[in-house]
Chains A and B, each alone.
Chain A
């Protein structure tokens, strides 16, 4: 168990190092940092001086070491567009993205489980078929089209919800939250649905398939024979057993939700990290791109690591073969 955890941990560090090399290569070689600082009429001597003061003359390995140590302290350099430290830009926008991602995941889980259970229990009803159709659309349509459709319906035609921004935000220390104001709640509804729709269809299909499978097993038949109520069988016995894979999928998908918020944030002009990243790509702001890559990788790697380790805690069968190999 310890050997497995350690091995898995080392692997995660290896992945982060590899991503770090890519981020450094982008930072250092794609776009000359000096050109971003100086103006056109700076002399060659001055350029060389700036180059030297930035440490760009040092061996590449030394530079990588410096970048690495800075990154560990969350120093990612200065943004080319904003002339501000990248880390403070990211920190300022982190709450917006996290709130959106958490709301989207909660929406996906609640709606997905409800729809999945319903379409497994009442397989041939019209509503169940409608859910299937919605799930096909949720998987096929690009996120931004769904966002535009929602905006057209609820913001342009009906005028119920705002089409952009976060509404009023309240400062709690360094964290800014939109979840304490009415306008904040109104503003998050459409982005959260847009972002969570794909995960919702995923969870719905998963719950439906698992429920259908579980309902065929012997212990359910036995529970029926014991005369338990249908409600107790469906929700106490069957649903409970489908929840482990659902939570796993929802957890593993959280990283994707954060990455896909790039698109949702652009559609709804949501002031989060994703929007910052898209603007960085448009304006070739390499320090922000490199830092965003590092942050998202860290989130992905951490989630995968935690899920893998939790699995071995929950299921001892997974331990033995790997343990022996190590």
Chain B
């Protein structure tokens, strides 16, 4: 990226006070302002989050409520075409569901599953990485061998397997909320390895430093040293991985739903909407699949761009 070769600014005379001013004055915010693409990506990502949060106020109907759907409104083309009808800006699907409303609600589910999946993967990976790095020995080699084996398989395969096994254990007919939970667990179990490896590497470096020896000397218990003293020093790379993984987790959820192994039609995510819309492509009703697809692609692309920028901005070698 071009902002890698920015010359260092001269020191300010009046030192800023307060965290907000400090944040505005930080190197990271500076590199953020220097990259127009990143600012656009951040704006788009923020818009998607706001749309998802305020979906129920923005949508013209609740697509999950059958009482609000009318078959007379089915398969209406987008508003700007000759057959368009107000208030269905992006048209409707075969059940008379407003495509825009469905996207807003689907966005909410896609983001929720993605974020929860990343948080779960992060918690699992960080915990295992801390344990492996701090204790070493047999624990370390067992955890790392499992990680090695898992890393050779694509995440989507693991997510599909976890999904299938969970369904078989819980019975094939799950309600929407348990499907949501299964998806989050499947994504978490597919993505923990990268966190574990990164944290372990940092911990191996950090644990030989004097401050850890000092903490051990004053008799602090191992969990406290790990969480309060070692972990904060490994957070930079974790943040980068989490951002890039958010895009991957959203793709994984969308793929699972598209394959029919994710969210059901009664509570669709973006992937489910694309799967449903795909059936109407040949009938010429392109809007049912196109707009959820564009929303998903835009969301993933902007999160990816943010992740790329964050990786460069936090990399001291590129300063």
Contacts and interface: CB of A to CB of B under 8 A. Distances in A.
Interface string B272-297: 00100010011010100100010011
Contacts of B169: 30-31
Nearest 5 CB-CB pairings of A with B: A31-B168, A281-B164, A30-B168, A284-B168, A259-B154
Looking at A152, A260, A267, A286, the one whose CB has the most chain B CB atoms below 10 A away is A152
Given A145-B296, A259-B153, 6 more contacts: A15-B149, A19-B149, A31-B169, A255-B152, A259-B154, A278-B259
B254 interface: yes
Contact of A286 (B168, B282, B286, B296): B168
B156 A262 contact: yes
B296 A140 contact: no
B156 A284 contact: no
A218 to B, nearest CB: 25
B160 interface: yes
A26 interface: yes
Interface in B261-319: 261, 274, 278, 281-282, 284, 286, 289, 293, 296-297, 300-301, 304
Contacts of A284: 164, 167-168, 172
Interface size class of B (residues with CB under 8 A): 35 or more
Contacts of B260: 278, 282
Given A142-B251, A263-B255, A281-B261, A289 B156 contact: no
Nearest to A16: B149
A151 B300 CA distance: 22
A249 interface: no
Nearest to B301: A140
Interface stretch (A175-183, A229-237, A292-300, A318-326): A292-300
A66 to B, nearest CB: 21
Interface of B: 149, 152-154, 156-157, 160-161, 163-165, 167-169, 172, 247, 251, 254-255, 258-261, 274, 278, 281-282, 284, 286, 289, 293, 296-297, 300-301, 304
Contacts of A26: 161, 165
Given A148-B289, A152-B281, A289-B161, A278 B156 contact: no
A297 B153 contact: yes
B165 A263 contact: no
B245 to A, nearest CB: 14
Contacts of B157: 259, 262, 293, 296
A281 B260 CA distance: 9
Given A152-B286, A266-B259, A284-B172, A300 B304 contact: no
15 contacts: A30-B165, A30-B168, A142-B258, A142-B296, A142-B297, A143-B255, A144-B255, A145-B296, A148-B289, A259-B157, A266-B259, A277-B160, A286-B165, A289-B164, A300-B152
Looking at A31, A140, A277, the one whose CB has the most chain B CB atoms below 10 A away is A140
B153 A296 contact: yes
A141 interface: yes
Interface in A125-168: 136, 139-145, 148-149, 151-152, 156, 163
Main secondary structure of the interface of B (DSSP, over half): helix
A263 B261 CA distance: 12
B276 to A, nearest CB: 12
A30 B163 CA distance: 12
B281 A148 contact: yes
B274 A281 contact: no
Contacts of B296: 142, 145
Interface string A202-241: 0000000000000000000000000000000000000000
A280 B153 contact: no
A4 B164 CA distance: 38
A79 interface: no
A289 to B, nearest CB: 5
B110 to A, nearest CB: 11
B281 A281 contact: no
B23 to A, nearest CB: 29
Contacts of B172: 283-284
A63 interface: no
A271 B308 CA distance: 38
B160 A144 contact: no
Given A144-B255, A145-B274, A148-B274, A281 B160 contact: yes
Contacts of B301: 136, 140-141
A247 B55 CA distance: 48
Contact of B261 (A148, A149, A282, A304): A282
A18 interface: yes
A277 B259 CA distance: 11
A256 interface: yes
A234 B261 CA distance: 48
B286 to A, nearest CB: 7
Nearest to A260: B154
Contacts of B258: 142, 144, 263, 266
A266 B289 CA distance: 16
Contacts of A31: 168-169
A26 B289 CA distance: 35
